[in-house]
Amino acid sequence: MKLPTFKYIEPKSIRRACHVLEEHGDEGQAIAGGTDLMMAWKNRLKVPEIVVDLASIPHLNHIRYSDKDGLRVGALVTLRRLASNPVVKEKYPALTQAALAVGTPQLQAMGTIGGNLCQDSLCAYYNRSPSSRQMLEPCHKMEGTVCHAVAGSKICWGTYCGDIAPTLLVLQARVTIAKGEGKEVFPLSQLYSADGKRPTSLKPGAIVTEIHVPSPAPRSGAIYLKFRLRRTIDYPLLGVATRLTMDSAGTICEDAAVALTAVERTPLLIKEAANARGKKLTDTVVEALAEAAYKQAHPLHNICGVTPEYRKEMVKVYVMSAITQTVQTVTQAGGAA
Amino acid sequence: MKRVITLTINGETHELLVKTNETLLDVLRDYLGLVGTKKGCDAGACGACTVIIDGEPVLSCMTLAIRCQNRNIMTIEGLAQNGELHPLQKSAIEHNAVQCGFCTPGWLLSAKVLLDNNPTPTREDVRSSIAGNLCRCTGYQSIEESILAVAEGKVK
């Protein structure tokens, strides 16, 4: 499969990259690892006029940690490097799990944390070769007027399937976004638009440069569980991340967070997790949380593998399992944490 | 749009005039005749096009050739040294880990990255390392055995 023709530039600064991207609007495309872009290009889903290589920019490759500040990861750090970093392994094992759950070892070695967060949404009616798209009327994501996933829908229902976002959401990550001359820091949830057509809220010329994760609270733990048919390669059919902080006796939940991926147009942070605060994690409490997640999940048949009904049922199973496993990791760490 | 680039492949330097939109896989195969690197799915899923860049396993079908300047690329042609097969290659032959041969260059290089970073892998480590290399002859068992045999020093 040949790639479309494009101009290629290697800016030496973030400012220059932002400028070129802003100038070219939708015709410009920033490239980090490139793993999410190459197939879109090969299939002519995206045809950039100019490609701006972020790998040529210095200072986007750091992994820094301090107990006071937490973790700072440059957007161009590859998932493989992130997963194998000793501090990440020790302090944020859920992040290592999520990075190792992405694609294959090769895709982890190429794909970056920033690129993964900005991954485009997926839809079986959109992610197709040009020839197999011919038989379908152009959908919203193709600048058409129909949706093949939800008949009659006036909006695009492309599903957000990133593996890293749910974990970073429960870890309360913030992202630094450079634009023009300046940069701003936002909670990660604000990176997402909930628009299937364009899942991030980044405007042309805006670039994610750094991810900041606060240091883990004492007696806390997190986990990422991924449901897919094969243990490798596949995107998630469902991904669940949870984080819990327990009291010193290990019985009362002091803080809880749950996030889902692959079941909506955006990664979902389940706000009802706050209801578990100050409570014992009894079956009733955990089931109520799982039920809240279940209600907000909206899987469609635009992701191949198993039926949307099955995936929705699995939300409950995975949330409950993730909470149980997170409690175990916290209590196993014991008083040491 | 073309550009002159310098690629270091298996220790040799090549100066090439390539298009900005060409993949490393096409440059390896079509410009340099290094056809040991296979074009399987050409979509980033099968691992047949795996090469090693700066010690990492990389899919050459998903890599722009122009992004590979000043980087150290190893293809399957660079695995044997001075005419002698690499232990992983010898072991693959001994364990009948090659059937149709299409996935072989890819998993050999994935296995090399594994052993370079972890000389004493468990079976699970071996499985994880080749999780991005599909074998449709379903020869995974013998592939695993052949890699483990090298790690255990049974094939040198």
Q: How far does the CA of residue A290 sit from the closest CA of chain B (Å)? A: 31
Please tell me the total count of domains within chain A: 1
Spatial distance between the Cα atoms of B153 and B155, rounded to a whole number of angstroms? 5
Name the CA radius of gyration of chain B, rounded: 15
User: In this structure, which long-range contacts are made by residues A37-41, counting pairs with CB atoms below 8 Å and at least 24 apart in sequence?
Assistant: A38/A3, A38/B23, A38/B44, A38/B61, A38/B62, A39/A127, A39/B43, A39/B44, A39/B62, A40/A120, A41/A3, A41/A4
Would you give the end-to-end CA distance of chain B in angstroms? 47
A210 neighbors A75 (Cβ within 8 angstroms): yes
Joined together, the tokens standing for residue A197 give 């057509």
**In the prediction, which pLDDT does B61 show?**
98
Mean pLDDT of B91-115: 97
pLDDT in tens, A117-153: 999 999 999 999 999 999 999 999 999 999 999 999 9
Q: List the single residue in A51, A55, A233 with the smallest CB-CB distance to B132.
A: A233
Any idea where the domains of chain B sit in the sequence? 2-78, 87-151
The pLDDT, as a whole number, for residue B138 is 83
Could you tell me if residue A268 is inside a domain?
yes
Distances (CA, A) of A212 to A122, A176, A241, A277: 26, 8, 18, 24
pTM exceeds 0.95 for this model: yes
The model's pLDDT over B2-18, given as tens digits with 9 standing for 90+, comes to: 999 999 999 999 999 99
* pLDDT at position A237: 98
Q: Do A8 and B128 touch (CB under 8 A)?
A: no
B110 sits in which H/E element: helix B104-117
Q: Which residues of A touch B1 (CB under 8 A)?
A: 5-8
Q: How many CB atoms lie within 10 A of CB A52?
A: 24
Write the residue in A34, A106, A231 that is nearest to B57 by C-beta.
Answer: A106
Over residues B125-129, the mean pLDDT reads 98
Looking at residues A198-202, what average pLDDT do you find? 97
Flag whether A320 is in a domain.
yes
pLDDT at A335: 46
Q: How confident is the model at residue A1 (pLDDT cuts 50, 70, 90)?
A: confident
pLDDT band per the 50, 70, 90 thresholds, residue B99: very high
Question: Most A CBs within 10 Å: which of B56, B113, B129, as the mutation test of the A interface?
Answer: B56
User: Which pLDDT score, from 0 to 100, does residue B86 have?
Assistant: 98
pLDDT single digits (tens) B31-70: 999 999 999 999 999 999 999 999 999 999 999 999 999 9
Q: Mind listing the pLDDT tens digit for each residue in A18-59?
A: 999 999 999 999 999 999 999 999 999 999 999 999 999 999
Q: Identify all chain B residues contacting A233, using CB atoms and an 8 Å cutoff.
A: 45, 131-132, 134
Tell me if domain B2-78 and domain B87-151 are identical in fold.
Answer: no
CATH at residue A297 = 3.30.390.50
ipTM for the complex shown: 0.97
What local confidence, expressed as pLDDT, does residue A333 receive? 77
DSSP β-bridge partners for residue A178: A183, A207
DSSP state of B67: G
Note whether residue A266 is domain-resident: yes
A95, amino acid identity: L
User: Which of A37, A45, A104 best probes binding to B when mutated, by most B CB atoms within 10 angstroms?
Assistant: A104
Task: Indicate if the pLDDT at residue B78 is higher than 90.
Answer: yes
A73 phi/psi in degrees, rounded to 5: -125, 125
Q: Show Cβ contacts of residue A297 under 8 Å, excluding neighbours closer than 6 positions.
A: A238, A260, A263, A264, A268, A311, A312, A315
A211-251 residue pLDDT tens: 999 999 999 999 999 999 999 999 999 999 999 999 999 99
A129-147 in b/e form (b: 16+ CB < 10 A) is: eeeebeeeeebbbbeeebb
Strand partners, A65: A71
Q: Is residue A138 part of a domain?
A: no
> Hey, what CATH topology would domain B87-151 get?
DNA polymerase; domain 1 (1.10.150)
Q: Report CA A101 to chain centroid distance, whole Å.
A: 12
Contact criterion met (CB below 8 Å) for A261 and A165: yes
Residue A185: inside a domain, yes or no? no
Identify the pLDDT of residue B46.
97
- pLDDT of A204 higher than 70: yes
Contact across the interface for A233 and B131, Cβ inside 8 Å: yes
Q: Which residues contact A80 (CB under 8 A, 6 or more apart)?
A: A99, A105, A108, A109, B56
Alpha-carbon span B105 to B113, nearest angstrom:
13
Q: If you average pLDDT over every residue of chain B, what do you get?
A: 97
Q: Which pLDDT belongs to residue A336? A: 42
Q: Per-residue pLDDT averaged across A187-200, rounded?
A: 98
Residues of chain A with C-beta less than 8 angstroms from the C-beta of B57: 105-106, 109
CA-to-CA distance for A327 and A253, rounded, in angstroms?
9
**B103-122: average pLDDT:** 98
Residue A238 lies in a domain: yes
Residues paired with residue A51 on neighbouring β-strands, in sequence order: A8, A29
CB contact under 8 A, B20 and A51: yes
Long-range pairs for A141-150: beta carbons < 8 A, 24 or more residues apart: A141/A196, A141/A197, A142/A45, A148/A123, A148/A302, A149/A123, A149/A124, A149/A125, A149/A300, A149/A301, A149/A302, A150/A300
Distance, in Å, from the CA atom of A278 to the CA atom of A220, rounded to the nearest integer, reads: 14
In this prediction, residue B151 has a pLDDT band, given cuts at 50, 70 and 90, of: very high
A294 assigned to some structural domain: yes
Tens-place pLDDT, residues A251-295? 999 999 999 999 999 999 999 999 999 999 999 999 999 999 999
Q: Which residues of A touch B43 (CB under 8 A)?
A: 1, 39, 42
pLDDT for residue A332:
86
Record: contact A106-B128, CB cut-off 8 A: no
Judge whether B20 and B64 are in contact, CB under 8 Å: yes
Q: Which of B47, B56, B63 sits opposite A104 (nearest CB)?
A: B47
Q: What is the mean pLDDT of chain A?
A: 96
Which of A6, A53, A105 lies closest to B131 in CB terms?
Answer: A105
Contact at CB, A39 and B58, closer than 8 angstroms: no
DSSP assignment string, A187-221: EGGGGB---TTS-B-PPTTEEEEEEEEPPPPTTEE
In a domain, A248, yes or no: yes
Residue A301 has pLDDT above 70, yes or no: yes
- For residue A271, give its domain range: 220-336
In terms of Cα–Cα distance, which of A245, A217, A211, A176 is closest to A91? A217
Interface of B with A (CB under 8 A): 1, 3, 19-23, 42-45, 47, 50, 56-59, 61-64, 66-67, 110, 113, 128-129, 131-134
A190 Cβ contact list (under 8 Å, min separation 6): A201
Q: What is the pLDDT of residue B80?
A: 97
The DSSP letter of residue A103 is S
Q: What pLDDT is attached to residue A334? A: 61
What's the CATH architecture for B2-78?
Roll (3.10)
